Amino acid sequence: MPADAIQFEPLAEDALLLRFGDRIEPVLNDRVHAAVAALRDLPSLECVPAYASVLLRFAPAAWQGDEAASAHQRVERAARIALETRHAPAGAGRIHEIPVCYGGPHGPDLHELAQHLGLSGTVVVARHVGVDYRVAMLGFAPGFPYLLGLDPTLAMPRRRDPRTRVPAGSVAIGGAQTGIYPAELPGGWHLIGRTPLRLFDADASEPSLLAAGDRVRFRAIDAEEFADLDAARHR
């Protein structure tokens, strides 16, 4: 995408927002991650990708110069040059296999969701594990991945009565998205399973297991394997 097709919006004295569009779709998200790849080497600049935008955080003092241009103007100019000249690919990201125990106490909404969609629980699980997902962005809570790639036949409106507590590791569907709750949180998505993996650890060198641009593959496991993996994580 040419840099002149991107909207640059000042958000604060140390932030610019780059808008690529206003929809949730893979093509726009590809452009977002390609832009992050092109901009990541600019000095004193942090890139935070979302579905169709990138937040640029910068240190204003590091971008001040002798000319009359403001820090915002200098960052925008440098970003436009980088986007026009580098043409960096989005990259494939790391691939993560996420084990999930579907249904039962770990996925209390699976049966209701399947009935609403006119499918069996087995078909819902097969379609959920049958595709690769991209981590489009992290948001809502630290380490919460919004995943692109959900089979359209599994799209389901959010619950009318959100839960005040959703267990950590819950795998859920909300609208045309799927995601994983990294901690015990409130939430209105439909819980179809749960992973024993820890998605966010504030004390780790890399706190979030998943990063924007990574790939995710779900693997169905039974309750016994869930218990074994969960016990191994707590040893």
Indicate the CATH number of 95-233 among 1.10.287.110, 2.40.100.10, 1.10.760.10, 3.40.228.10: 2.40.100.10
Predicted pLDDT of residue 203: 92
Predicted pLDDT of residue 207: 95
Per-residue pLDDT of the chain (235 residues; tens, 9 = 90+): 555 678 999 999 999 999 999 898 889 999 999 999 999 888 889 999 999 999 999 998 888 876 657 888 898 998 999 898 876 665 567 999 999 999 999 999 999 999 999 999 999 999 999 999 999 999 999 999 999 999 999 999 999 999 999 999 999 999 999 999 999 999 999 999 999 999 999 999 999 999 999 999 999 999 999 999 999 887 7
Whether 148 and 29 have beta carbons less than 8 Å apart is answered as yes
pTM for this model (two decimals): 0.88
Strands 95-102 and 215-221, bridge-based pairing: parallel
Whether 179 and 158 have beta carbons less than 8 Å apart is answered as no
For the structural domain made of 3-85, what CATH number should be given? 3.30.1360.40
Phi, psi (degrees; rounded to nearest 5) at 15:
-150, 140
What is the CA 84 to chain-centroid distance, rounded?
26
Domain ranges for the chain: 3-85, 95-233
> Tokens 């692109």 appear where?
148
